[in-house]
Homo-oligomer: A and B are copies of this chain.
Amino acid sequence: MSEAATAAAPRATIGDSEFDRDTALTRRAPGVYDIDLSAGWTIINAVNGGYLLAVLGRALADALPHQDPFTISAHYLTASQPGPAVVRTDVVRTGRTLSTGTASLLQYDEQGNEVERIRVLASYGDLGALPDDVRTTATPPAIPPMEQCFGPEDGPAPVDGSSAIADRLMLKLDPATLGWALGQPSGKGEMRAWFGLKDGRDPDPLSLLLAVDALPPTAFEIGLRGWVPTVELTVHVRSRPAPGPLRVSITTRNLAGGFLEEDAEVWDSAGRLVAQSRQLARARLA
Protein backbone atom coordinates (compact mmCIF):
# COMPACT_ATOMS: atom_id res chain seq x y z
CA MET A 1 0.00 0.00 0.00
CA SER A 2 1.48 3.35 -0.97
CA GLU A 3 1.60 6.22 1.46
CA ALA A 4 -0.97 8.03 -0.63
CA ALA A 5 -3.33 5.06 -0.40
CA THR A 6 -2.81 4.89 3.36
CA ALA A 7 -3.66 8.55 3.67
CA ALA A 8 -6.76 8.17 1.52
CA ALA A 9 -8.19 5.05 3.22
CA PRO A 10 -10.68 5.61 6.04
CA ARG A 11 -8.98 4.54 9.25
CA ALA A 12 -10.71 1.89 11.33
CA THR A 13 -11.22 2.70 15.00
CA ILE A 14 -10.86 0.62 18.15
CA GLY A 15 -14.09 -1.32 18.49
CA ASP A 16 -14.92 -1.11 14.79
CA SER A 17 -12.17 -2.89 12.87
CA GLU A 18 -11.44 -6.29 11.36
CA PHE A 19 -9.51 -7.21 14.49
CA ASP A 20 -12.42 -6.28 16.73
CA ARG A 21 -14.97 -8.10 14.60
CA ASP A 22 -12.80 -11.23 14.34
CA THR A 23 -12.19 -11.41 18.12
CA ALA A 24 -15.83 -10.73 19.07
CA LEU A 25 -17.40 -13.43 21.22
CA THR A 26 -21.04 -14.20 21.92
CA ARG A 27 -21.77 -14.95 25.57
CA ARG A 28 -23.96 -18.04 25.61
CA ALA A 29 -23.99 -18.37 29.41
CA PRO A 30 -21.87 -16.99 32.25
CA GLY A 31 -18.31 -17.99 31.42
CA VAL A 32 -19.20 -19.67 28.11
CA TYR A 33 -18.60 -17.89 24.81
CA ASP A 34 -19.02 -18.80 21.16
CA ILE A 35 -16.80 -17.54 18.39
CA ASP A 36 -16.21 -18.30 14.75
CA LEU A 37 -12.42 -18.26 14.40
CA SER A 38 -11.64 -16.20 11.33
CA ALA A 39 -9.58 -17.64 8.47
CA GLY A 40 -8.22 -14.13 8.04
CA TRP A 41 -5.48 -14.50 10.64
CA THR A 42 -3.81 -17.65 9.36
CA ILE A 43 -0.15 -18.12 8.50
CA ILE A 44 0.03 -20.80 5.82
CA ASN A 45 -2.70 -23.01 7.32
CA ALA A 46 -2.22 -22.28 11.02
CA VAL A 47 -4.32 -19.80 12.95
CA ASN A 48 -1.94 -17.22 14.40
CA GLY A 49 -1.25 -17.75 18.10
CA GLY A 50 -1.39 -14.04 18.87
CA TYR A 51 -4.84 -13.69 17.31
CA LEU A 52 -6.01 -16.67 19.38
CA LEU A 53 -4.54 -15.14 22.52
CA ALA A 54 -6.43 -11.93 21.80
CA VAL A 55 -9.67 -13.93 21.52
CA LEU A 56 -9.03 -15.57 24.89
CA GLY A 57 -7.90 -12.27 26.37
CA ARG A 58 -11.12 -10.63 25.29
CA ALA A 59 -13.20 -13.39 26.89
CA LEU A 60 -11.32 -12.89 30.16
CA ALA A 61 -11.84 -9.11 29.98
CA ASP A 62 -15.56 -9.88 29.93
CA ALA A 63 -15.44 -12.54 32.64
CA LEU A 64 -13.21 -10.69 35.13
CA PRO A 65 -13.97 -7.43 36.93
CA HIS A 66 -10.78 -5.88 35.52
CA GLN A 67 -10.35 -5.05 31.84
CA ASP A 68 -6.65 -5.18 31.04
CA PRO A 69 -4.37 -8.23 30.79
CA PHE A 70 -1.39 -7.48 33.07
CA THR A 71 0.13 -10.94 32.66
CA ILE A 72 -1.35 -13.68 30.52
CA SER A 73 0.13 -17.15 29.92
CA ALA A 74 -1.11 -19.46 27.18
CA HIS A 75 -0.20 -23.11 26.69
CA TYR A 76 -0.91 -24.23 23.11
CA LEU A 77 -2.14 -27.81 23.20
CA THR A 78 -3.40 -28.66 19.72
CA ALA A 79 -3.59 -26.73 16.44
CA SER A 80 -6.66 -24.49 16.15
CA GLN A 81 -8.66 -24.46 12.92
CA PRO A 82 -10.68 -21.62 11.42
CA GLY A 83 -14.35 -22.11 12.28
CA PRO A 84 -16.57 -22.52 15.33
CA ALA A 85 -14.98 -22.59 18.76
CA VAL A 86 -16.04 -22.28 22.38
CA VAL A 87 -14.25 -20.34 25.10
CA ARG A 88 -14.84 -21.28 28.72
CA THR A 89 -13.64 -18.97 31.47
CA ASP A 90 -13.29 -19.52 35.18
CA VAL A 91 -12.65 -16.86 37.81
CA VAL A 92 -9.85 -17.91 40.16
CA ARG A 93 -9.78 -14.84 42.41
CA THR A 94 -10.99 -11.27 42.32
CA GLY A 95 -8.97 -8.71 44.23
CA ARG A 96 -9.03 -4.95 44.53
CA THR A 97 -6.27 -4.24 42.01
CA LEU A 98 -5.86 -7.61 40.26
CA SER A 99 -8.16 -10.45 39.25
CA THR A 100 -7.05 -13.87 38.09
CA GLY A 101 -8.84 -16.24 35.78
CA THR A 102 -8.43 -19.15 33.43
CA ALA A 103 -9.75 -19.62 29.91
CA SER A 104 -9.90 -22.56 27.53
CA LEU A 105 -10.39 -22.56 23.80
CA LEU A 106 -12.20 -25.67 22.58
CA GLN A 107 -13.16 -27.02 19.19
CA TYR A 108 -14.84 -30.23 18.06
CA ASP A 109 -13.30 -33.05 16.08
CA GLU A 110 -15.05 -34.93 13.26
CA GLN A 111 -16.71 -37.26 15.77
CA GLY A 112 -18.07 -34.28 17.70
CA ASN A 113 -15.66 -34.73 20.61
CA GLU A 114 -14.43 -31.67 22.41
CA VAL A 115 -10.72 -30.98 21.83
CA GLU A 116 -8.96 -28.35 23.91
CA ARG A 117 -6.76 -26.07 21.82
CA ILE A 118 -5.34 -23.61 24.32
CA ARG A 119 -5.36 -23.15 28.10
CA VAL A 120 -4.76 -19.70 29.55
CA LEU A 121 -4.01 -18.39 33.04
CA ALA A 122 -4.04 -14.62 33.47
CA SER A 123 -4.15 -11.76 35.93
CA TYR A 124 -6.01 -8.61 34.91
CA GLY A 125 -5.95 -5.09 36.29
CA ASP A 126 -6.63 -1.51 35.27
CA LEU A 127 -3.75 0.02 33.30
CA GLY A 128 -5.37 3.43 33.64
CA ALA A 129 -5.04 3.25 37.43
CA LEU A 130 -1.25 2.82 37.43
CA PRO A 131 1.06 5.65 38.48
CA ASP A 132 2.96 7.49 35.73
CA ASP A 133 6.40 6.73 37.15
CA VAL A 134 8.73 5.32 34.44
CA ARG A 135 12.30 4.33 35.29
CA THR A 136 12.74 1.94 32.39
CA THR A 137 16.39 1.45 31.38
CA ALA A 138 15.59 -0.53 28.23
CA THR A 139 15.95 1.45 25.03
CA PRO A 140 13.73 1.24 21.93
CA PRO A 141 14.87 -1.19 19.23
CA ALA A 142 17.37 0.17 16.73
CA ILE A 143 15.15 0.02 13.68
CA PRO A 144 15.37 2.30 10.64
CA PRO A 145 12.53 4.67 9.77
CA MET A 146 9.48 2.89 8.43
CA GLU A 147 10.07 3.97 4.84
CA GLN A 148 13.41 2.13 4.89
CA CYS A 149 11.77 -1.12 6.07
CA PHE A 150 10.10 -3.77 3.95
CA GLY A 151 6.79 -5.59 3.95
CA PRO A 152 5.27 -8.38 1.85
CA GLU A 153 3.96 -5.75 -0.61
CA ASP A 154 7.47 -4.50 -1.28
CA GLY A 155 8.69 -7.62 -3.04
CA PRO A 156 7.99 -11.26 -3.76
CA ALA A 157 6.23 -13.03 -0.90
CA PRO A 158 8.99 -13.88 1.61
CA VAL A 159 7.10 -16.90 2.96
CA ASP A 160 5.94 -19.66 0.66
CA GLY A 161 2.24 -20.29 0.61
CA SER A 162 -0.57 -17.89 1.28
CA SER A 163 -0.77 -16.10 4.58
CA ALA A 164 -4.08 -14.38 5.04
CA ILE A 165 -2.74 -12.50 8.05
CA ALA A 166 -0.39 -10.55 5.75
CA ASP A 167 -3.43 -8.76 4.31
CA ARG A 168 -4.45 -7.56 7.77
CA LEU A 169 -1.12 -6.40 9.17
CA MET A 170 1.04 -3.38 8.51
CA LEU A 171 4.37 -5.14 8.96
CA LYS A 172 7.59 -3.44 7.87
CA LEU A 173 10.68 -5.48 8.63
CA ASP A 174 14.08 -4.06 9.44
CA PRO A 175 16.31 -4.92 6.42
CA ALA A 176 18.98 -6.06 8.89
CA THR A 177 16.68 -8.94 9.94
CA LEU A 178 15.43 -9.77 6.44
CA GLY A 179 18.38 -11.84 5.23
CA TRP A 180 16.38 -15.06 5.53
CA ALA A 181 13.95 -13.84 2.84
CA LEU A 182 16.89 -13.49 0.43
CA GLY A 183 18.41 -16.85 1.37
CA GLN A 184 21.09 -15.19 3.49
CA PRO A 185 20.04 -15.42 7.15
CA SER A 186 22.25 -13.33 9.43
CA GLY A 187 22.70 -16.16 11.92
CA LYS A 188 21.52 -13.84 14.70
CA GLY A 189 18.29 -14.61 16.52
CA GLU A 190 16.78 -11.20 15.92
CA MET A 191 13.68 -9.90 14.18
CA ARG A 192 12.53 -6.29 14.21
CA ALA A 193 9.56 -4.59 12.59
CA TRP A 194 7.16 -1.73 12.56
CA PHE A 195 3.74 -3.16 13.34
CA GLY A 196 0.18 -2.02 12.97
CA LEU A 197 -3.20 -3.16 11.74
CA LYS A 198 -3.61 -2.52 8.04
CA ASP A 199 -7.02 -0.93 8.42
CA GLY A 200 -5.40 1.75 10.57
CA ARG A 201 -6.96 0.75 13.91
CA ASP A 202 -4.76 2.06 16.70
CA PRO A 203 -3.22 -0.36 19.19
CA ASP A 204 -4.80 -1.23 22.53
CA PRO A 205 -3.91 -3.82 25.18
CA LEU A 206 -5.71 -6.59 23.26
CA SER A 207 -3.94 -5.92 19.98
CA LEU A 208 -0.60 -6.04 21.84
CA LEU A 209 -1.34 -9.74 22.41
CA LEU A 210 -1.35 -10.08 18.62
CA ALA A 211 1.73 -7.89 18.11
CA VAL A 212 4.06 -10.09 20.17
CA ASP A 213 3.45 -13.13 17.95
CA ALA A 214 3.03 -11.61 14.49
CA LEU A 215 6.59 -11.31 13.14
CA PRO A 216 8.37 -14.07 11.20
CA PRO A 217 10.11 -16.46 13.62
CA THR A 218 13.62 -15.49 14.71
CA ALA A 219 14.50 -19.08 13.76
CA PHE A 220 14.43 -17.98 10.10
CA GLU A 221 17.32 -15.57 10.73
CA ILE A 222 19.18 -18.34 12.59
CA GLY A 223 18.91 -20.37 9.40
CA LEU A 224 16.22 -22.84 10.40
CA ARG A 225 13.27 -23.55 8.16
CA GLY A 226 9.78 -24.73 8.70
CA TRP A 227 7.22 -24.31 11.38
CA VAL A 228 8.16 -23.12 14.87
CA PRO A 229 5.09 -24.05 16.93
CA THR A 230 4.56 -22.20 20.19
CA VAL A 231 4.38 -24.34 23.33
CA GLU A 232 3.78 -21.49 25.76
CA LEU A 233 3.51 -17.71 25.45
CA THR A 234 3.40 -15.24 28.35
CA VAL A 235 2.73 -11.55 27.77
CA HIS A 236 3.08 -8.70 30.24
CA VAL A 237 1.10 -5.65 29.15
CA ARG A 238 2.69 -2.73 30.95
CA SER A 239 0.97 0.33 29.57
CA ARG A 240 -1.90 1.36 27.35
CA PRO A 241 -0.20 2.06 24.00
CA ALA A 242 -0.27 5.52 22.43
CA PRO A 243 -1.93 5.79 18.98
CA GLY A 244 0.28 5.09 15.98
CA PRO A 245 2.62 2.36 14.80
CA LEU A 246 4.40 0.03 17.21
CA ARG A 247 8.00 -1.13 17.08
CA VAL A 248 8.44 -4.83 17.86
CA SER A 249 11.77 -6.46 18.59
CA ILE A 250 12.17 -10.22 19.04
CA THR A 251 15.30 -11.93 20.30
CA THR A 252 16.34 -15.56 20.68
CA ARG A 253 19.42 -16.38 22.76
CA ASN A 254 18.90 -19.99 23.76
CA LEU A 255 18.39 -22.46 20.93
CA ALA A 256 19.08 -25.92 22.33
CA GLY A 257 17.59 -29.37 22.61
CA GLY A 258 15.01 -28.71 19.94
CA PHE A 259 13.48 -25.70 21.69
CA LEU A 260 14.04 -21.95 21.67
CA GLU A 261 12.71 -18.92 23.46
CA GLU A 262 11.45 -15.80 21.70
CA ASP A 263 11.56 -12.61 23.77
CA ALA A 264 9.47 -9.78 22.38
CA GLU A 265 9.40 -6.12 23.31
CA VAL A 266 6.71 -3.81 22.00
CA TRP A 267 7.33 -0.05 22.00
CA ASP A 268 4.64 2.50 21.22
CA SER A 269 4.88 5.71 19.20
CA ALA A 270 5.49 7.69 22.40
CA GLY A 271 8.64 5.66 23.14
CA ARG A 272 7.11 3.63 25.96
CA LEU A 273 7.86 -0.09 26.44
CA VAL A 274 4.23 -1.21 26.49
CA ALA A 275 4.55 -5.01 26.41
CA GLN A 276 7.11 -7.72 27.04
CA SER A 277 6.62 -11.36 26.16
CA ARG A 278 8.46 -14.63 26.11
CA GLN A 279 7.49 -17.81 24.37
CA LEU A 280 8.89 -21.31 24.36
CA ALA A 281 8.71 -22.84 20.89
CA ARG A 282 9.82 -26.04 19.23
CA ALA A 283 12.56 -25.69 16.67
CA ARG A 284 13.21 -28.08 13.86
CA LEU A 285 16.98 -28.41 14.01
CA ALA A 286 18.35 -28.88 10.51
Interface residues, chain A, with chain B CB atoms under 8 Å away: 70-71, 73, 75, 77-78, 92-93, 95, 98, 100, 102, 116, 119-123, 127, 130-138, 188-189, 222, 231-232, 234, 236, 238-239, 252-259, 261, 272-273, 276, 278, 280, 285
Choose from B130, B239, B253 the contact partner of A138 (Cβ within 8 Å): B253
Which residues on the B side are within 8 Å of A123 (C-beta)? 75, 231-232
Please state if B253 and A136 are interface contacts (CB–CB under 8 Å).
Answer: yes
Nearest B residue to A272 by beta-carbon distance? Answer: B256
Which residues on the B side are within 8 Å of A71 (C-beta)? 75, 231-232, 280
Nearest B residue to A117 by beta-carbon distance? Answer: B93
A46 to chain B, nearest CB (A): 17
Q: List 8 A-B contacts (CB under 8 A).
A: A75-B100, A92-B116, A93-B116, A131-B285, A132-B257, A133-B285, A137-B255, A256-B273
Whole-angstrom distance between the alpha carbons of A252 and B276 in the complex? 12
A155 to chain B, nearest CB (A): 28
Which residues on the B side are within 8 Å of A189 (C-beta)? 137
Please state if B261 and A236 are interface contacts (CB–CB under 8 Å).
Answer: yes
CB contact under 8 A between A136 and B256, given known A71-B231, A92-B119, A123-B75: yes
A173 to chain B, nearest CB (A): 20
Please state if B261 and A276 are interface contacts (CB–CB under 8 Å).
Answer: yes
Whole-angstrom distance between the alpha carbons of A285 and B130 in the complex? 12
Please state if A257 and B131 are interface contacts (CB–CB under 8 Å).
Answer: yes
Nearest B residue to A256 by beta-carbon distance? Answer: B134
Nearest B residue to A223 by beta-carbon distance? Answer: B135
CB contact under 8 A between A134 and B280, given known A98-B231, A231-B71: no
Which residues on the B side are within 8 Å of A100 (C-beta)? 75, 77, 119
Kindly name the residue among A232, A273, A278 whose own CB sees the greatest number of chain B CB atoms within 10 A. Answer: A232
Whole-angstrom distance between the alpha carbons of A121 and B123 in the complex? 13
- 6 A-B pairs besides A102-B102, A232-B236, A238-B257 with CB distance below 8 A are A70-B231, A71-B231, A77-B92, A130-B258, A134-B257, A276-B278
Which residues on the B side are within 8 Å of A278 (C-beta)? 234, 236, 276, 278
A137 to chain B, nearest CB (A): 5
Whole-angstrom distance between the alpha carbons of A257 and B134 in the complex? 6
Question: Which 9 pairs show the lowest CB-CB distances between chains A and B?
Answer: A130-B257, A138-B253, A73-B73, A71-B232, A121-B121, A134-B256, A135-B255, A71-B280, A234-B234
A246 to chain B, nearest CB (A): 15
